[in-house]
Structure 1
């Protein structure tokens, strides 16, 4: 079981890293387009702020959170974009301040959740540590969109392990989401961490295997890079199929990214 305090410390560090990227942007830069179609930098931060606030509601006010769920069910295909668009209209200074206060409130609320408590969410209920891990994954992924929009190269950290863990554990979800039968055999995932350590998931003797850099795997499962641009290797037809549909985030199948232009 994940150590909640350690996950929250990593989540806070992920928040802070993205904050340093956007904190000094000129107001006009917040309108810069990101690789997510139709989303500016303001949309990216607005989405994170909204989701952090809703996650805090799930912890502190379950009844109000269920009202948010009902709103989402009335517009399944558009509620995420709508929420981001609404908040993105705020002046950048106000948006930044609301994201900062909201994420502190979420971390504080999660830290107080009793052990073994399951929190309601838009999908299956989850533990506080799982919710914190999911928030870290989303912050990292949307932070990548912001970095790409600004031409910023981020230094990978050990926090990628949280993202990779979700990516490995959502294999079955990706198959179901794409209306494909879930493979009976578990896969082996072996990833080279930023510090050279080997991170692994699945049985060591599995015939279906995925290997490569952890950063590339995280880019793949968050659909921030096209598979052809990544140094990931699949052994076995089913493992190869998975790399074409892998998705660590909730929602309908993502469209992913186009391959990088040939240099």
Structure 2
């Protein structure tokens, strides 16, 4: 009898363990945003577009660890970027109007509405750019990655927050440009000659503000030398406009870098803030510089 009871208890324990394991695995799956049947909630542009169009698909269960196969009415597309909730894909050659589908490990989800494949040339689109910040007077080269650019440099018009940049190298998926003087923080845009539509970056290109952290000495006479410390000064000495309470000073070439500027207290200066201006962007000291007799 005891042996029989032990067998029943042992079998019951196995059943409990198995049930707990199933529950644990299912709970993990439910908590995993990349596990499940893909679901497409929307796509952009919603109106459709020609072959080669840059399409952003939004939804759920787009795995980041397993391959996601995107199709436009049954024709497989190239994917450029995949996250758990969004996919960037290009309308493939041979595609026709119809549903968009996303397949992950045999599980497929389709859009509720059709994507209309139209005639024409696809608009340029920006995926990313590097570096993400800089100043125009430094003639920084920025590489823009995307699709549908022209391989002829002059056929691409690139602007940094509305200021036109010079394109120095061009390919269908990459542009290298020089940040133009007068650039302010904002989006980058690309237009291609003869093509309708503008590609706009998804984030801003940032133009840093010069920052004054300290200056030595904190007081002195007109004509004396002051060292200003901070960051994001221009490496070209002449491009830094330094003022003592509104009166422009002379920047000394020796001892000046992007983090330190050596200047001469100008005649007519009075006690007040020191400012450093680089390409129209101004940074101001938190403390006053005291002009003594």
Question: Which TM class, normalised by the smaller chain length?
Answer: under 0.3
Higher relative contact order (CA 8 A, sep 6+): 1
Which of these two proteins has the greater Rg computed from alpha carbons? 2
Q: TM-score if structure 2 supplies the norm length? A: 0.21
Of Structure 1 and Structure 2, which has the larger fraction of its residues in helix?
Answer: 1
Of Structure 1 and Structure 2, which has the larger fraction of its residues in strand?
Answer: 2
Q: TM-score if structure 1 supplies the norm length? A: 0.22
